[in-house]
């Protein structure tokens, strides 16, 4: 019998979540963010479930080439652009769209000759203070890119990234919107028509329709996790895409006072059943998850007991006294939201989903 840990990927849920995006931003085109192996879900099957998106966004040329080699011809945006001038020719040969966020990239483009039309996204730093041109320098960069013979008028677009969109009431959100609107207005003045723009990530897509513009960039919501801080109730229903599960491989009766696992970190408060589950940090279950982190055994909530080891965890089965070896354990997904687990662990759902390792087989289902 093979080791029972697995990630079940519901592709119908992916399609449903994309429909939620369409309903929330009906006037915008959708750039689906599928970087980091589609947030750990498996980029090729997920991308094929998202073929009704208008474009895809990835972090690197390698990620984009994986899609092209799989026969995916959609528009693909490199969110960090290219990393050296040698990548430019390959990126443009494969019709990739480039985010331009630094003057070096502008210089590389100025030194490049192409007979094809190249689509560029000029990134402006409106408050994230990570990548992008300041509003004071963005216009000069726009003018330099506009002079390139292979960049047609409708092939130059604006992009920025929000720092606090998951906090709907954070005043920086409106500040970033004002900065973005002001700087992108210059392109309309220069070319007589407005360039296409993209600002809204998943959180802004659901809470700030004034940020939708021509393109929205959903990421985490496509995978069924809430993009909002923990105290914010969503008005839409997202469906979890990944259900991470394993099985109990042993159940033992332990006496009051016995300790469980490495470091004697957890002590049985009474005579009780303790289960052993075939999953650990070698599979991507977080090592720093504290005792009490919830999971399901046969659909009922139980709690982590003791430290997470590489291949195994132990669970408190007092709520499931009849549990036995072979019973299904759900670590997150249907019935136990990944964001709820993330709150207990002190992290975010993005990290948990992306962290599921390659030794965990993914099983894809469409219904």
Q: What is the pLDDT of residues 244-273, one digit of tens each?
A: 999 999 999 999 999 999 999 999 999 999
Beta bridge partners of 113: none
Catalytic-role residue among 152, 256, 262, 300: 262
**Cα–Cα dist 75/162, whole Å:** 23
Q: What is the pLDDT of residues 99-122, one digit of tens each?
A: 999 999 999 999 998 888 899 999
pLDDT at 113: 87
For the question of residue 262 being annotated catalytic, the response is yes
Domain coordinates in residue numbering, the chain: 11-223, 242-365
Strands (E) across the chain are located at 6-10, 29-33, 55-58, 75-78, 96-100, 120-123, 156-159, 197-198, 215-216, 242-254, 259-260, 266-267, 272-277, 294-297, 300-304, 313-316, 328-332, 362-365
Tell whether domain 242-365 is in CATH 2.40.37.10: yes
**Cα–Cα dist 43/101, whole Å:** 25
Burial of residue 75 (number of CB atoms within 10 Å: 0-12, 13-18, 19+): middle
pLDDT at 231: 67
pLDDT at 38: 98
Length of the chain, in residues: 367
Average pLDDT, the chain: 95
For the question of residue 52 being annotated catalytic, the response is no
Q: What is the pLDDT of residues 187-246, one digit of tens each?
A: 666 655 679 999 999 999 999 999 999 999 999 999 999 999 876 778 789 999 999 999
Q: What is the pLDDT of residues 47-85, one digit of tens each?
A: 999 999 999 999 999 999 999 999 999 999 999 999 999
**Cα–Cα dist 364/242, whole Å:** 10
Over residues 127-156, mean pLDDT: 93
Q: What is the pLDDT of residues 336-347, one digit of tens each?
A: 999 999 999 999
CA distances from 158 to 55, 182, 185, 199 (A): 15, 12, 10, 9
pLDDT at 191: 58
Query: Among candidates 136, 191, 201, 194, which has minimal Cα distance to 163?
Result: 201
Q: Tell me which architecture the domain covering 11-223 has in CATH.
A: Alpha-Beta Barrel (3.20)
Over residues 5-28, mean pLDDT: 98
Catalytic-role residue among 35, 123, 281, 285: 35
Give me the sign of the Cα torsion angle 13, 57, 245, 351.
negative
């Amino acid at each position: 019998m093979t080791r029972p840990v697995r990630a079940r990927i519901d592709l119908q849920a992916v399609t449903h979540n994309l429909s939620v995006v369409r309903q929330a931003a009906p006037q915008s085109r959708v750039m689906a963010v599928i970087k980091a192996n589609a947030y750990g879900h498996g980029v090729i099957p997920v991308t094929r479930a998202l073929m009704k998106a208008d474009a895809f966004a990835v972090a690197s040329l390698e990620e984009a080439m994986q899609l092209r080699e799989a026969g995916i011809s959609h528009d693909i945006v490199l969110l960090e652009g290219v990393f050296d001038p040698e990548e430019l020719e390959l990126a443009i040969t494969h019709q990739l769209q480039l985010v331009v966020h630094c003057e070096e990239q502008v210089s590389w483009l100025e030194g490049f000759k192409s007979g094809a039309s190249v689509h560029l996204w000029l990134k402006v730093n409106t408050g994230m203070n990570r990548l992008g041109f300041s509003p004071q320098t963005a216009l000069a960069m726009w003018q330099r890119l506009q002079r390139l013979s292979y960049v047609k008028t409708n092939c130059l677009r604006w992009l920025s990234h929000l720092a606090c969109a998951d906090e709907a009431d954070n005043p920086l959100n409106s500040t970033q919107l004002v900065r973005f609107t002001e700087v992108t207005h210059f392109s309309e003045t220069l070319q007589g028509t407005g360039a296409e723009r993209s600002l809204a990530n998943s959180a802004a897509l659901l809470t700030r329709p004034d940020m939708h513009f021509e393109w929205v960039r959903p990421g985490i919501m496509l995978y069924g996790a809430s993009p909002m801080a923990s105290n914010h109730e969503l008005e839409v229903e997202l469906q979890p895409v990944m259900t991470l599960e394993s099985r109990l491989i042993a159940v033992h009766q332990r006496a009051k006072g016995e300790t469980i696992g490495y470091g004697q970190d957890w002590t049985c408060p009474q005579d009780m059943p303790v289960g052993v589950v075939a999953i650990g940090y070698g599979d991507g279950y977080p090592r720093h998850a504290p005792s009490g982190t919830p999971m399901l055994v046969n659909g009922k909530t139980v709690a982590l007991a003791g430290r997470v080891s590489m291949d195994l965890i132990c669970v408190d089965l007092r709520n499931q006294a009849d549990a036995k070896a072979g019973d299904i354990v759900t670590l997150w997904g249907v019935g136990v939201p990944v964001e709820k687990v993330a709150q207990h662990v002190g992290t975010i759902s993005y990290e948990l989903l992306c962290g599921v390792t390659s030794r965990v087989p993914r099983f894809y289902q469409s219904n």
